[in-house]
Structure 1
Amino acid sequence: MITSQDLELFGVVSGVSSLAAAARALDVTPSAVTQRLRQLEQRLGVRLLERTSRRLHLTAEGQLLAQRGAEVLANLEELAEALVERREVVTGHLRVAAPFGFGRRYVASAMAALRTRHPEVKLTLTLFEDPVGLRGDAWDVLIHVGPLTDSALTLHRLAPNRRILCAAPSYLERHGMPERPEDLRQHACGVIREDQSDVTLWRFSHAQKEAVTVRVQPALSSNDGEVIKQWGLAGLGVIVRSEWDVAEDLRQGRLVPLLPAWQLPDADVVALLGARGGRVARTAHFLESLRQMLQPVPWRV
Structure 2
Amino acid sequence: MNDSSDIRFLMTIREAGSLVAAARTLGISPPTVTQRLQQIERKLDTRLIDRTARRLRFTEEGTLLCQRGADLVQQFDALFDDVRARQGGLAGTVKIRAPLGFGRRHLASVVSAFQRDNPDVDIELTLTDQPLSETAERYDIVVHIGELPASNLIGYAIAPNARFVCAAPALLKRFPNPETPDDLRQLPCIVLRENNEDASLWQFRKGRTTRSVRVSSKLCCNDGDVVRQWACEGRGVILRSEWDVADDLAKGDLVRLLPAWKAGDADVIALTRNRAGLPARTRQFMRYMQARFKPQPPWRS
- Relative to structure 1, the CA distance from residue 31 to residue 113 in structure 2 (aligned partners, 3 Å threshold; closer, same or farther) is same
**2:179 is matched with which residue?**
179
- The structure-2 alpha-carbon separation of the partners of 1:186 and 1:16, relative to structure 1 and needing over 3 Å to count, comes to same
Distance 2:266 2:69 in 1: 37
1:252-263 → structure 2 map (5 Å cutoff): 252-263=251-262
Decide whether the 8 Å contact of 1:153 with 1:274 is kept in 2: yes
Compared CA separation, residues 68 and 300, structure 1 to 2 (3 A): closer
Q: Which residue of 2 aligns with 1:144?
A: 144
What residue in structure 2 maps to residue 267 of structure 1?
266
Name the stretch that deviates more: 75-84 or 277-286. 277-286
Q: Which residue of 2 aligns with 1:75?
A: 75
Once the 2 structures are TM-superposed, how far is the Cα of residue 214 of structure 1 from its aligned partner?
Answer: 0.8
Letter in 2 for 1:232: A
> Superposition RMSD on alpha carbons, in Å?
2.3
Change (3 A) 1:191 1:299: same
TM-score (norm 2): 0.90
SS in structure 1 opposite 2:219? strand
1:50-92 residue CA offsets vs partner (Å, 9 max, x unmatched): 1234320012332233234434422321221122122132223
Q: Report the CA distance shift for 1:236/1:277 in structure 2 as closer, same or farther (over 3 A).
A: farther
Aligned counterparts of 1:210 and 1:45: Cα–Cα separation in 2? 62
Write the mapping of 1:236-247 to structure 2, written as runs, cut at 5 A.
Answer: 236-247=235-246
1:170-215 deviations in Å (ceiling 9; x for gaps):
22222332222111111111111112221111111124x7221111
Secondary structure of the 1:267 match is coil
**Partners in 2 of 1:39 and 1:283 — Cα distance?**
33
Compared CA separation, residues 96 and 65, structure 1 to 2 (3 A): same
Distance 1:70 1:291, change over 3 A: closer
Amino acid at match of 2:95: R
Contact 2:166 2:255 in 1 (8 A): yes
Q: Matches of 1:151 and 1:55 in 2, distance apart?
A: 28
Q: In the comparison of the two structures, how many residue pairs are matched?
A: 300
> Which ranges in structure 1 are unaligned for 5 or more consecutive residues?
none
Report the alpha carbon displacement of residue 249 of structure 1 after superposing the two structures with TM. 0.6
Percent identical among aligned pairs is: 44
Distance 1:292 1:223, change over 3 A: same
Q: Which secondary structure does the structure 1 equivalent of 2:127 belong to?
A: strand
2:31 and 2:226 mapped to 1: Cα distance? 42
Question: Where do 5+ consecutive residues of structure 2 fail to align?
Answer: none
How far is the alpha carbon of 1:43 from its aligned partner? Answer: 4.2
* Alpha-carbon contact 1:114-1:285 (below 8 Å) kept: no
Cα distance change of structure 1 residues 115 and 161 upon mapping to structure 2, 3 Å threshold: same
Indicate conservation of the 8 Å contact 1:6/1:40, yes or no.
yes
Is 1:48 the counterpart of 2:58? The answer is no
Q: What secondary structure is seen at the aligned counterpart in 2 of 1:204?
A: strand
